[in-house]
């Protein structure tokens, strides 16, 4: 029988590897073979299958003891704040994001950066990365470390690769967007992004931490 942790490592590699492969070196050939719609179906099916494998392998892997710190109130406070910032970035990334495959993306890239794009041009990716960091801080068990490293690599390496892909697809528009924005998050600008990302992020944070399998966020102390 395969060790559950080994299965989780294999699932995480498959999840990240297939995302990178289908998003970059295999994308053009898959689109030619399957068409745009067929590509999206294949991409979604492979992503869902590898994510399901990760989930079930994670559940099957014993949590084990934290490798350092973990589970104390101070650690949970830090993790809760990091998670909130992650969700503020994520919520804001859904509005006017030129990286999303939507009509008007090129026009959006020519605009003056506003909202969370004052912080980074990859707010969704950094949201995922900060979410992973928060879980690594709060519960540094072997299975959590595997999953958070996978999500962190997918987000941050994926953001870099996305820049290269968008340069090829959008040309000067994306290069102008890169010149006006930053890959690395300038977190001090979070206080100038406006209310909407904060309202959305706080709402998601309250809901997600309430539904969390362990008491998290403010619900840990209520």
In tens, the pLDDT along 107-125 reads 999 999 999 999 999 999 9
Residue with tokens 């999953």: 147
Q: Does residue 72 have a pLDDT over 80?
A: no
| Cβ pair 155, 125 in contact under 8 A | yes
Tokens of 27: 């994308």
Residue 123's φ and ψ, nearest 5 degrees, are -65, -35
3 state DSSP class of 179: helix
Calculate helix-pair angle for 123-138, 142-170, nearest 10 degrees. Answer: 170
User: What's the CA gap between 197 and 192, in Å, rounded?
Assistant: 11
How sure is the predictor about 20, in pLDDT bands with cuts at 50, 70 and 90? very high
Cβ-based neighbours of 198, under 8 Å, separated by 6 or more: 88
Q: In whole angstroms, what is the distance from residue 98 CA to residue 107 CA?
A: 8
SS3 186: coil
For residues 117-146, give the mean pLDDT: 95
pLDDT surpasses 70 at 29: yes
């Amino acid at each position: 029988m395969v060790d559950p942790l080994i299965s989780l490592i294999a699932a995480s590699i498959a999840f990240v590897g297939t995302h990178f492969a289908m998003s970059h070196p295999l994308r053009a050939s898959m689109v030619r073979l399957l068409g745009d719609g067929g590509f999206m179906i294949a991409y979604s099916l492979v992503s869902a299958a590898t994510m399901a494998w990760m989930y079930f392998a994670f559940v099957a892997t014993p949590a084990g003891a934290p490798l350092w710190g973990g589970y104390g109130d101070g650690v949970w406070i830090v993790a809760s704040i990091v998670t909130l910032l992650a969700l503020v970035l994520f919520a804001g990334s859904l509005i006017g994001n030129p990286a999303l495959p939507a009509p008007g993306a090129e026009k959006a890239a020519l605009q003056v950066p506003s909202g969370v794009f004052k912080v980074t041009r990859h707010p969704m990716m950094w949201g995922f990365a900060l979410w992973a960091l928060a879980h690594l801080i709060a519960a540094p068990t072997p299975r959590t470390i595997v999953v958070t490293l996978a999500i962190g690599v997918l987000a941050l390496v994926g953001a870099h690769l996305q820049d290269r892909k968008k340069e090829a697809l959008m040309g000067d528009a994306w290069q102008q967007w890169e010149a006006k924005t930053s890959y690395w998050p300038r977190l001090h600008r979070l206080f100038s992004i406006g209310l909407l990302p904060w309202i959305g992020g706080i709402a998601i944070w309250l809901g997600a931490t309430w539904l969390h399998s362990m008491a998290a966020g403010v619900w840990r102390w209520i």
